[in-house]
């Protein structure tokens, strides 16, 4: 029997060491069409979820923000507008392709000066302790191999009083909505992925990884176990997505 530790990659059990590479391949494949697919898949609602995240972040001018798994930079751009020239926003992503797309997009839109781009693994964040007023991770935590390790790493880089925001797919609260959502995820999404991004496997992984991700209460417990206090969550669109928030004491 192998003594290697395993984790899930969608519905498959894989070696822990292999997951990061497999996830990387998914995002290398979809990076170019990531924004378009997000708009198509969610009908544009992902922008509303991100707007709500920004509101709950309570970020103000002059503060420092770390946006992990920042991808194509939707949240980082909004944070950069709010913190202004005296603030600092770091867009971090483990995936080089996603980071390149995000960096090009933001530079093309004139963002510079208060915005940095860092290729970093959420589990081992390359920043000193107590560095940021706010850490956000939107639709990224479910792809991390060791979520508990990543949450502890986020807690470490937060300043005391700083807050973590985790925006992630979750479990619909209404059984009817859950059934409709299941059909949509496993039938429509891979088809859309094949049609638009030329890659149905990546979107099949997306649907599977959402089902394997901890539900609202489990993730809330994970935040508390990692050391966050005053933790809470808000269900969005009937629980299709949940926004968790926790503070560093």
Interaction site with another protein (CB under 8 A): 45, 47-49, 51-52, 55-56, 58, 60, 234-238
Residue 51 beta carbon to another protein: minimum distance, rounded to whole angstroms: 5
Based on CB atoms, which residue is closest to another protein, 56 or 220? 56
Based on CB atoms, which residue is closest to another protein, 48 or 118? 48
Residue 236 beta carbon to another protein: minimum distance, rounded to whole angstroms: 5
Based on CB atoms, which residue is closest to another protein, 26 or 75? 75
Based on CB atoms, which residue is closest to another protein, 6 or 235? 235
Residue 241 beta carbon to another protein: minimum distance, rounded to whole angstroms: 8
Residue 198 beta carbon to another protein: minimum distance, rounded to whole angstroms: 30
* 79 contact partners, CB below 8 Å, separation of at least 6: 54, 57, 59, 65, 67, 89, 134, 136
Half-sphere exposure of 101 (CA within 13 A, CB side): 21
Based on CB atoms, which residue is closest to another protein, 103 or 245? 245
Residue 238 beta carbon to another protein: minimum distance, rounded to whole angstroms: 7
């Amino acid at each position: 029997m192998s003594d290697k530790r395993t984790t899930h990659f969608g519905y498959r059990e894989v070696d822990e060491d292999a997951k990061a590479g497999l996830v990387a391949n998914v995002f290398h494949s979809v990076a170019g069409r990531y924004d378009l697919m997000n708009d198509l898949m969610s009908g544009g609602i992902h922008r509303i979820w991100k707007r709500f995240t920004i509101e709950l972040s309570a970020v103000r001018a002059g503060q420092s923000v770390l946006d992990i798994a920042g991808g194509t930079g939707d949240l980082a751009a909004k944070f950069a507008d709010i913190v202004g020239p005296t603030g600092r926003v770091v867009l971090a992503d483990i995936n080089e392709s996603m980071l390149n797309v995000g960096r090009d997009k933001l530079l093309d839109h004139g963002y510079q000066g208060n915005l940095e781009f860092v290729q970093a693994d959420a589990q081992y964040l390359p920043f000193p302790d107590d560095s940021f007023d706010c850490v956000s991770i939107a639709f990224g935590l479910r792809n991390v191999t060791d979520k508990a390790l990543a949450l502890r790493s986020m807690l470490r880089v937060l300043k005391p009083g700083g807050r973590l925001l985790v925006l992630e797919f979750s479990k619909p609260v209404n059984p009817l909505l859950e059934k409709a959502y299941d059909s949509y995820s496993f039938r429509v999404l891979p088809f859309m992925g094949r049609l638009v991004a030329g890659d149905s496997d990546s979107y099949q992984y997306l649907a599977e990884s959402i089902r394997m991700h901890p539900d609202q209460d489990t993730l809330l417990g994970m935040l508390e176990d990692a050391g966050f206090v005053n933790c809470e969550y808000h269900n969005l669109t009937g629980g299709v997505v949940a926004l968790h928030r926790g503070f560093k004491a």
